[in-house]
Every structure is written in C-alpha cells, then in structure tokens.
A and B are shown apart, each in its own frame.
Chain A
C-alpha cells in the first residue's frame, strides 16, 4: 500500500486517480503509523514551498516523513513534493525542507526567451541506466518556477529550459520527480509503474 501524504495540496486527487488506474493500492493519509507502515510514501505538492512546509508542520508530519525516508522506506516526492526533499528553498525567503537529498531549490533564472513558470511538456535526458531510463527522450508535463540545484550524482534525468533542470532525482530510496507523472500521459504512468517495481523488488540501485 502506498501512503499518499494528505496535507491539503493541489494534485493529490489526480495522483490518487493515476495510482488507482494502475491498480497500485494507495491511501490518502496524514496518520504517522499508516505513513511509517506503508510500502511507499508519496509526497505530492502544488503551490508555495513555505505554505507546504507549514501545512506539514501543522500535521506534525516533518519528523514522520524524515523518519520514513531515513528508515529506508521507498519515498517519492512529486513537483513541489520533490522540492521539499531538498535542504532548503529560496522561494519567498529561505525555508528549510526535509533535507533528504543534498541540494537547494532555486528560482529559474530570468531569460528573455523563456517564460516563468515553465508550463508544458519538456523532453527528458536520462543519463544513467536507472529503471527510469524509460523516460529518456520522452516528454513529461511541468509546471514550476523553481528548480532543484544539486550534485550530478543525484540527477537521474534532466530537461533543458535555458539551464539544465533536474527532472528526476534520487538519493537511494528517496526519489523525486519535478514534472507531474499523473499528467504526463503514458510516459508518466510508465514511470509510476517503474517506481512501483522498485518498491516491490526493493531495488533502488541506479544501474
């Protein structure tokens, strides 16, 4: 059973619909026991970083999520949920994240040719032999104004938006997707299935 962390954020229900469609058993929950006993923790998120951190704090979930990840439970952050995996974000002042992957969330640099937010389909380049290789050269759907800046060893896939933007990141059992797999058609569904396979086999090696 996947625990989808329920903290009143935007894309939760669509994510649930995608998991249902894939017959991946899941439950929306903010209950610490359920989160810690789930086969995998999925952290969705849409909106502003600080508001999301506050919503998690209100529900006393920060330590629970850190514990789940540190005890090697499979963990998937999506969109803002991925950004929350990092040390901090500079969105509206510096705010601390869950600190599960070393790195910082920064604003996409202004560039006269590019609009912010990045909204639409962008093409992934997957360098490693990760199971997420299925996304190589494939387009996924993005909506974001900030991006994760981290060491190459955590970057599984990236897209070109004036700068290279990490689209899939991974630190052992902790995986993040900047795009919305639940809105990325068959490619997105394939990626959720791959994550499910990694959970089932408990294999989070990147090769």
Chain B
C-alpha cells in the first residue's frame, strides 16, 4: 500500500532557512542541508522548499541550495517560489529537484503548466494553490502572490483546470486555517478529492496529532504539509506517524 506522506515545508531566503528552527542538535540553524538531513533522519517522506527571496537576483541562490541538499539527502525534493518559466523549472530539476511547484505563474500563464508537463513529465509539475473561503458566495477562491492578491477564480474548478493542463500533483493551502493550528480544512480537501485524480497535499492548520489523522481519514489526500509544528519541535514526524499508525493510516 502506498503510504501517506508527511512533508515538512521550509521557507528559504537568500539560501538560508528562515523561521526559527530549534532542533537542539543543529549547529547552524539556517543551513538547509543540515535541516534537510535532520528531517530525513526523523522520517520525513519528502521536503518542500519555498523560496521567499524578495528579488530574482537573490533567488538564484536557490539553485545552489538544491545542489547542496541533493548531494547529502536522498529523498524527494519539491521546490517552489518565484518559478515563472520553463527555464526556471529546468534549472531546478537539473540542480536536483524532483518536483517544481508553480503558484502565481500558473494563474498568470496557465500554459506554463502544459509546457512544463510536456517537457519534463506531469509527475514533476506541482501546482500550488492558495485558497480562501468567501462566506457570501460560499465558494473558495484562489489567491496569488503569497496570498496577497485575490483572484476571481473559483478554487475547485481551477484545480480541475490545472490537472487538465498537466499538473501531476496539487499543493493546496487553506489560507483561513494557515497558522491557526486548528486543523486542516477538511471540507475543502473532500471537495478537491472528489474533483481531481492526482495526488493532493493538504497544507494549512496542522497543530495537533488528530489534525493529521482527520485529514487522511476524512478526505482523499496523499500528503500533509506542516511547518511550524515540526520546526519548533512541538511534534516530531515520528509522533505523527506513530499516531497515524494507531489510527489505521498507512505510513512509512
């Protein structure tokens, strides 16, 4: 049986991991290689690096980060943040990424999904979607530019569209839940799970053990992403996996 994936997400700027990471055993808390190796040891199934560098110039350091991490850490790596062209995708894959996540660029230029999928295969094109619930229309809408800009694109139909265009995986962040540690947006992932047949990574809201089992048992998602609960050591990946096993969720 395919295992459900537990995926830590690391924010990187100028080649350094941001957000305080406080594993006691790290000698350099901002070093992507050391943090990635630690997560590999803890049993993470995959790592996502999001480049939050402010400028394109600084973003070039991400290539180097991917090069370095992939020399030492032998697990799937997804890289996102500021990817706008086929060349960007190619450079990241060549540096050692397994998958590249595109977000705002997919909205601005949906053909990028198709071009990337044709050239490198659907399996390495992840479309990241940031969504927020609109209480008036009772629909989810897509936001871009790190959640700053609202679009008039309804999220579930957007998910179907990007899959039709060649996305091999969706990384969907529930913005209303993100940072709350109140649990994933189950109803969002239930709707998405019905709508598309590619792997879905749930993101936003992970706080306690039951949040992980809830999303896996109640929605058809393949992975759950979390950042701060892991970075601050509130939960270990092992805690999450042991709990999921007890609940009958298949994990590695």
Contact = CB atoms under 8 A, between A and B. Distances in A.
A120 B5 contact: yes
A14 to B, nearest CB: 6
Given A13-B96, A115-B198, A139-B252, A21 B121 contact: no
Nearest to B96: A14
A47 B223 CA distance: 23
- Interface SS of chain A: mixed
Nearest to A11: B98
Determine the interface band of chain B, counting residues with CB < 8 A from chain A: 20 to 34
Interface string A133-168: 000000101110000000000000000110000000
Nearest to A145: B123
A188 to B, nearest CB: 6
Nearest to A181: B74
A17 B72 CA distance: 8
A119 B168 contact: yes
B53 to A, nearest CB: 24
A115 B74 contact: no
A116 interface: yes
Contact of B74 (A123, A160, A161, A185): A185
Interface in B90-108: 93-94, 96, 98
Interface residues of A, number: 33
Given A115-B198, A118-B2, A10 B121 contact: yes
A20 interface: yes
Nearest to B123: A143
Interface of A: 10, 13-14, 17-18, 20-21, 46-48, 114-123, 139, 141-143, 160-161, 182-186, 188-189
25 contacts: A10-B121, A10-B124, A17-B70, A17-B71, A17-B74, A17-B96, A21-B71, A46-B121, A118-B2, A119-B123, A119-B199, A119-B222, A120-B3, A120-B45, A120-B199, A121-B252, A123-B3, A123-B252, A139-B252, A141-B75, A160-B1, A161-B1, A184-B74, A188-B74, A189-B74
